Amino acid sequence: MKWTQARRAQKMNPSVIREILKVTEKPGIISFAGGLPSPKTFPVSAFSAACEKVLREDGHAALQYAASEGYAPLREMVASMLPWNVDPALVLITTGSQQGLDLIAKVLIDEGSRVLVETPTYLGALQAFTPMEPEIVSVASDDGGVDIADLAAKAEGARFFYVLPNFQNPTGRTMPEERRAALSAEAARLGLPLVEDNPYGDLWFDTPPPLPLTARNPEGCVYLGSFSKVLAPGLRLGFMVAPASIFPKLLQAKQAADLHSPGFNQRLVAEVMKDGFLDRHVPTIRALYKSQRDAMLAAMVREMPEGVEWNTPAGGMFLWVRLPEGMNAIELLPRAVERNVAFVPGWAFYADQPDARTLRLSFVTSSVAQIDIGIAALAGAIREMRAGSSASVAGAAPQLEAQPQT
Amino acid sequence: MKWTQARRAQKMNPSVIREILKVTEKPGIISFAGGLPSPKTFPVSAFSAACEKVLREDGHAALQYAASEGYAPLREMVASMLPWNVDPALVLITTGSQQGLDLIAKVLIDEGSRVLVETPTYLGALQAFTPMEPEIVSVASDDGGVDIADLAAKAEGARFFYVLPNFQNPTGRTMPEERRAALSAEAARLGLPLVEDNPYGDLWFDTPPPLPLTARNPEGCVYLGSFSKVLAPGLRLGFMVAPASIFPKLLQAKQAADLHSPGFNQRLVAEVMKDGFLDRHVPTIRALYKSQRDAMLAAMVREMPEGVEWNTPAGGMFLWVRLPEGMNAIELLPRAVERNVAFVPGWAFYADQPDARTLRLSFVTSSVAQIDIGIAALAGAIREMRAGSSASVAGAAPQLEAQPQT
Model confidence at A392, in pLDDT bands (50, 70, 90)? very low
A64 vs B39: CB contact, 8 Å cut-off?
A: yes
Amino acid occupying residue B244: A
Dihedral sign, Cα of residue A104, residue A109, residue A115, residue A119: positive
Task: Measure Cα distances from B58 to A30, B30, B163, B235, B373 in Å.
Answer: 22, 43, 39, 18, 48
Q: How far is B65 from chain A (nearest CA, A)?
A: 5
The pair phi, psi for residue A22, each rounded to 5°, is -65, -45
pLDDT at B397: 41
Q: What is the DSSP letter of B315?
A: B
pLDDT at B12: 87
User: What are the pLDDT digits (tens) for B267-326?
Assistant: 999 999 999 999 999 999 999 999 999 999 999 999 999 999 999 999 999 999 999 999
Q: How many CB atoms lie within 10 A of CB B154?
A: 18
The CA-based dihedral angle spanning residues A43, A48, A54, A57, taken in that order and rounded to the nearest 10 degrees:
-140
The stretch B100-116 carries a mean pLDDT of: 97
Angle at which helices A44-62 and A263-273 cross, to 10°: 130
Q: How many helices (H) and strands (E) does chain B have?
A: 15, 15
Identify whether the C-beta of residue A184 lies closer than 8 Å to the C-beta of residue A217. Answer: yes
Q: Where are the domains of chain A?
A: 11-42+279-401, 44-276
The pair phi, psi for residue B392, each rounded to 5°, is -85, 0
User: What are the pLDDT digits (tens) for A353-365?
Assistant: 999 999 999 999 9
B256 vs A68: CB contact, 8 Å cut-off?
A: no
Q: How far is B392 from chain A (nearest CA, A)?
A: 31
pLDDT beyond 80 at A25: no
Q: How far is A333 from chain B (nearest CA, A)?
A: 22
Dist CA A18 CA A20 (whole Å): 5
ipTM: 0.94
B236 vs A259: CB contact, 8 Å cut-off?
A: yes
Question: Which of A1, A37, A52 has its CB closest to that of B193?
Answer: A1
| Nearest C-alpha neighbor of B215 from the set B198, B191, B237 | B198
pLDDT beyond 50 at A380: yes
Query: Span A11-42+279-401: which CATH code?
Result: 3.90.1150.10
pLDDT at A398: 35
Mutate to test the interface with A, among B10, B45, B95, B250 (most CBs of A within 10 A): B95
Angle at which helices B329-338 and B16-23 cross, to 10°: 30
State the pairing for strand pair A344-345/B141-142.
Answer: unpaired
Dist CA A161 CA A190 (whole Å): 11
Question: Which of B111, B234, B249 has its CB closest to that of A12?
Answer: B249
Dist CA B103 CA A290 (whole Å): 39
Q: How many CB pairs under 8 A join A and B?
A: 268
A102 vs B258: CB contact, 8 Å cut-off?
A: yes
Whole-angstrom Cα Rg for chain A: 21
Question: Which of B107, B110, B262 has its CB closest to that of A262?
Answer: B262
Residue of chain A with shortest Cα separation from B185: A1
Dist CA B76 CA B80 (whole Å): 6
pLDDT beyond 90 at A19: no
Average pLDDT, chain B: 93
B44 vs A65: CB contact, 8 Å cut-off?
A: no
pLDDT beyond 90 at B14: no
| Nearest C-alpha neighbor of A175 from the set A222, A220, A148, A210 | A210
Residues in chain A within 8 Å Cβ distance of B130:
256
Q: How far is A404 from chain B (nearest CA, A)?
A: 14
User: What are the pLDDT digits (tens) for A147-194?
Assistant: 999 999 999 999 999 999 999 999 999 999 999 999 999 999 999 999
User: What are the pLDDT digits (tens) for B150-183?
Assistant: 999 999 999 999 999 999 999 999 999 999 999 9
Identify whether the C-beta of residue B41 lies closer than 8 Å to the C-beta of residue B229. Answer: no
CB hemisphere CA count around B225 (13 angstroms): 24
pLDDT beyond 70 at B404: no
Dist CA B129 CA B112 (whole Å): 11
| Nearest C-alpha neighbor of B242 from the set B156, B160, B316 | B160
Dist CA A17 CA B252 (whole Å): 12
User: What are the pLDDT digits (tens) for A85-104?
Assistant: 999 999 999 999 999 999 99
Question: Which of B6, B188, B251 has its CB closest to that of A106?
Answer: B6
For residue B165, give every residue at least 6 positions away whose Cβ sits within 8 Å of its Cβ, in sequence order, or none: B145, B174, B175, B180, B196, B198, B209, B210, B212, B213
B6 vs A259: CB contact, 8 Å cut-off?
A: no
Angle at which helices B263-273 and B72-81 cross, to 10°: 50
B95 vs A42: CB contact, 8 Å cut-off?
A: no
pLDDT at B388: 81
User: What are the pLDDT digits (tens) for B202-214?
Assistant: 999 999 999 999 9
pLDDT beyond 90 at B196: yes
Residues in chain B within 8 Å Cβ distance of A44:
55, 59-60, 63
B59 vs A44: CB contact, 8 Å cut-off?
A: yes
Model confidence at B398, in pLDDT bands (50, 70, 90)? very low
Residues in chain B within 8 Å Cβ distance of A261:
95, 236
Q: How far is A256 from chain B (nearest CA, A)?
A: 5
Mutate to test the interface with B, among A5, A15, A221, A267 (most CBs of B within 10 A): A5
Residues in chain A within 8 Å Cβ distance of B233:
63-65
Phi-psi region of B6 (alpha: psi -120 to 50; beta: other; left: phi over 0): beta
Residues in chain B within 8 Å Cβ distance of A256:
12, 98, 102, 124, 127-128, 130-131
Task: Measure Cα distances from B216 to A14, A314, B194, B201, B225 in Å.
Answer: 30, 58, 11, 16, 17
Residues in chain A within 8 Å Cβ distance of B7:
110
The class of domain B44-277 in CATH terms is alpha beta
For residue B15, give every residue at least 6 positions away whose Cβ sits within 8 Å of its Cβ, in sequence order, or none: A68, A252, A255, B123, B124, B127
Question: Which of A42, A59, A257 has its CB closest to that of B44?
Answer: A59
pLDDT beyond 90 at B88: yes
Q: What is the DSSP letter of B322?
A: E
A108 vs B4: CB contact, 8 Å cut-off?
A: yes
| Nearest C-alpha neighbor of A214 from the set A309, A301, A358, A86 | A86
Task: Measure Cα distances from B127 to A69, A132, A256, B98 in Å.
Answer: 16, 17, 5, 10
Q: How far is A235 from chain B (nearest CA, A)?
A: 5
The DSSP secondary structure of B83-100, one letter per residue, reads SS---GGGEEEESHHHHH
Q: How far is B97 from chain A (nearest CA, A)?
A: 8
User: What are the pLDDT digits (tens) for B29-54?
Assistant: 999 998 899 999 999 999 999 999 99
**Residue A395, helix vs strand vs coil:** coil
Candidates 3.60.20.30, 3.30.2290.10, 3.40.640.10, 3.40.50.300; correct CATH number of A44-276?
3.40.640.10
Residue of chain B with shortest Cα separation from A12: B252
Model confidence at B24, in pLDDT bands (50, 70, 90)? low
Dist CA B384 CA B375 (whole Å): 14
The stretch A296-312 carries a mean pLDDT of: 98
Mutate to test the interface with A, among B184, B249, B250 (most CBs of A within 10 A): B249
pLDDT beyond 70 at A406: no
| Nearest C-alpha neighbor of A166 from the set A316, A294, A361 | A316
Residues in chain A within 8 Å Cβ distance of B96:
258-259
Q: In this predicted structure, which of A194-208, A284-298, B1-15, B112-126 has the lowest mean pLDDT?
A: B1-15
Q: Alpha helix locations (H) across A85-159?
A: 96-108, 123-129, 148-154
Buried (b) or exposed (e) across B33-71, using 16+ Cβ within 10 A? bbbbbbbebbbbebbbebbeebbeeebebbbbbbbbbbb
Cis status, amide bond into A345, omega within 30 of 0: no
Dist CA A170 CA A200 (whole Å): 11
The DSSP H or E segment spanning A158 is strand A158-163
Superfamily of domain B7-42+279-401: Aspartate Aminotransferase, domain 1 (3.90.1150.10)
Task: Measure Cα distances from B221 to A401, B23, B243 in Å.
Answer: 33, 38, 7
The DSSP secondary structure of B53-85, one letter per residue, reads HHHHHHHHHHTS---TT--HHHHHHHHHHSSS-
Identify whether the C-beta of residue A101 lies closer than 8 Å to the C-beta of residue A129. Answer: yes
Model confidence at A301, in pLDDT bands (50, 70, 90)? very high
Dist CA A190 CA A188 (whole Å): 5
B7-42+279-401 and B44-277 share one CATH topology? no
